[in-house]
Structure 1
Amino acid sequence: MDADPAVLVPALLRAAGISPSEEEVAAMIADFPGRAAAIETLYAIPEARYEEPDLVFRATL
């Protein structure tokens, strides 16, 4: 992702209505590039792109 984490992370938090402390936001901004790269690897295998994960919680009454 090419977006600046210092801009994107606070915007996502505001959109979600979450107000963490400044220290937490700084940690999220620092971790964002690694997390974004890890998420992108989930889609790196074309055969698995549309598959459902093995561990799915289904609440039933």
Structure 2
Amino acid sequence: MFGSVTIATRHREFRIAGAGWEHPAFRPHVTISVDDRRELDGVAPFAGDLVFGGEIWSK
């Protein structure tokens, strides 16, 4: 799980705009997961920058 000030700020903007919320313990984050059944005991968390494109909205 990677915390992000940018994601937390965007989340706060949605809340201020009236978005509903039912999970008070939630922390805005990015999680990337693939279940290929490998042992991950010795894997270190990614320490680089995550660079994403703009938001995409659809209905």
Whether these two folds match at TM > 0.5 is: no
**Relative contact order (alpha carbons < 8 A, sep ≥ 6): 1 or 2 greater?**
2
More helix by share: 1
More strand by share: 2
The TM-score with structure 1 as length reference comes to 0.30
